[in-house]
Amino acid sequence: MNSSPLRWFKSSYSGSEGDDCVEVAACTDVVHVRDSKVTAGPELAVAAASWGVFLAGVTARP
């Protein structure tokens, strides 16, 4: 298990006023997702392959 702290990145689609923000931290096999307004709150952890499928689906939308 990696004991290094996660490096979180805010979504490029997040507004500059601090609302509707999502942050992600990618590891080798897992991508962590959280609400940037509640950094001590819950996180969603998904397999990196599943995250890739999700991103492909949302970027394919018109």
Domain ranges of the chain: 9-59
pLDDT over 50 at 8, yes or no: yes
Q: 30, 47 in Cβ contact below 8 A? A: yes
Report, as an integer, the average pLDDT of 22-51.
Answer: 92
Report, as an integer, the average pLDDT of 9-36.
Answer: 83
Residue 33 in tokens: 């997702």
Instruction: Fill in the DSSP letter of residue 6.
Output: P
Report, as an integer, the average pLDDT of 31-47.
Answer: 92
Q: How far is CA 50 from the centre of its chain?
A: 12
The pLDDT score that the predictor gives to residue 10 is 86
Q: 11, 21 in Cβ contact below 8 A? A: yes
The pLDDT score that the predictor gives to residue 19 is 66
The pLDDT score that the predictor gives to residue 33 is 94
pLDDT over 50 at 1, yes or no: no
